Amino acid sequence: MKTEAVKFKIGIVCYPTFGGSGVLATELGLALSDKGYEVHFITYEQPVRLTQTFHPNIYFHEVKVPTYPLFDFPPYETALASAMVNVIVNQKLDLLHLHYAIPHASAAYFARQILKKTGADVPFITTLHGTDITLVGKDATYAPVVTFSINESDAITAVSQNLKEETYRSFKIEKDIHVIHNFVDIKRFHQTDKDHFKQMLAPGGERILVHVSNFRKVKRVNDVIHIFDKVSKEIPSKLLMIGDGPDRQQAEELARTLGIYNDVRFLGKQEQISEILSIADLFLLPSETESFGLSALEAMACSVPLVATNAGGLPEINIEGKTGFLSNVGDIESMAAHAIYILSDDDRLQDFKKAAIAQARKFEKQHIIPQYEKLYCEVIAAYKAEKLFVG
């Protein structure tokens, strides 16, 4: 077995886009590499948060999916499993860590079956992030494969207690699920002085509300617009909409119809989120489901209180009446009233801001990364012991 001083070689498989699971996986890889692990990302594109600086012990292996006239749907899962086999063998990985079950867990199972024939297989951990369980995974089209491959994982983690319970409710899972919450790097996500920027976006000293997401249906971006419509009638304010996705156009249309378009800025995908959060007074997250709410945690780390729904794992981070408020899904009146309450008094706003950062500190990366490290050690040790036993 390796000694404490020797760090493992970890393969991280994730979606490389702005979605929460890819962001969390990339932040985890960055944190592990800072601690001396060798990290190998295996995915179809360079993960977004990896592009900013060079990291000597981070490697990126691009999964290429060749097209062929016969393929209406190029087989990504097959290409991914082959890439996993190559990287595990050539880089001598100790472990694979999969973020988002579909199709990463089944591809890992496949890769492992191939490698078992040569005795070169490695264990794999599946981290459940949210819609892989709450929406997509439950669909009958995927459910049998999702259930099987989650159960075949050497360890399973979920990003909130709520997601763990939801997984047991929705699938026949025979193993323990470890809850390891999302985390934030407060060295990078904290409030900085961006007054010149605030001056440009809110020249009359208006309050600034922010929403960050991938504008999918589950995020209910129209609710964001409706909430802001009500708030801006009571309090001079501006809304910054960060991100892009299928529902952006209808949200822009709604803002025009309501006559508030001039007070709403759709900024699209942004990499320097903490700079934008630094000038924000309130974060809006009216999601239909939200297993944790990493974007909300990053906002809280920048001292931004949260008005959100009580969906999924949001109550695990947002303390009612202290760091923000929680309302039922779709209750625009309640969310607008809470926003107005927080924003209408300077001292009250400051109290909420202080509570938000204090709460975010509980989810700082130095509290969470060791939980993953401990799990890696346990899984690798158990796997080696089993190999010795089986011979």
Please tell me whether residue 19 binds ligand GMT under the rule CB under 6 A: yes
Which 3 state secondary structure label does DSSP give 245?
A: coil
Using CB under 6 A, which of the segments 20-28, 55-63, 231-239, 362-370 binds ligand GMT? 20-28
Residues 6+ apart with CB under 8 A from 259: none
49: contact with ligand GMT by CB under 6 A = no
What DSSP assignment string belongs to 106-152? HHHHHHHHHHHTTT----EEEEE-SHHHHTTTTSTTTHHHHHHHHHH
Residue 169's H or E segment, with its range, is helix 161-170
The angle at the Cα of 168, spanning 131 to 96, to the nearest 5 degrees, equals: 65
Min separation Cβ 262 and ligand GMT, Å: 28
Distance CA 290, CA 286 (A): 9
Longest dimension (CA), the chain: 73
Rounded Cα–Cα distance for residues 81 and 114 (Å): 9
Out of 294, 300, 301, 375, the only residue in the binding site for ligand GMT (CB under 6 A) is 294
- The single-letter code of the amino acid at 356 is A
Residue range at the interface with ligand GMT (CB under 6 A); choices 19-27, 47-55, 198-206, 232-240: 19-27
CB of 7 to ligand GMT, least distance (A): 24
To the nearest whole angstrom, how small is the minimum distance from the Cβ of residue 286 to ligand GMT? 12
Residue with tokens 């997984």: 167
Instruction: Report the residue number, 297 or 340, with the smaller CB distance to ligand GMT.
Output: 297
Site string for ligand GMT, 73-112 (x = CB under 6 A): ---------------------------x------------
Is 20 among the residues that bind ligand GMT (CB under 6 A)? yes
> Which position has the token pair 């694979």?
96
Query: Pattern 164-183, binding to ligand GMT, x per CB under 6 A?
Result: ------------------x-
CA distance 143 to 152: 14
Interface with ligand GMT, residue 159, by CB under 6 A: yes
SS3 304: coil
118-137 binders of ligand GMT (CB under 6 A):
129-131
25 or 332: CB nearest ligand GMT: 25
- The footprint of ligand GMT (CB under 6 A) covers 19-21, 24, 100, 129-131, 159, 182, 213-214, 218, 287, 289-294, 312
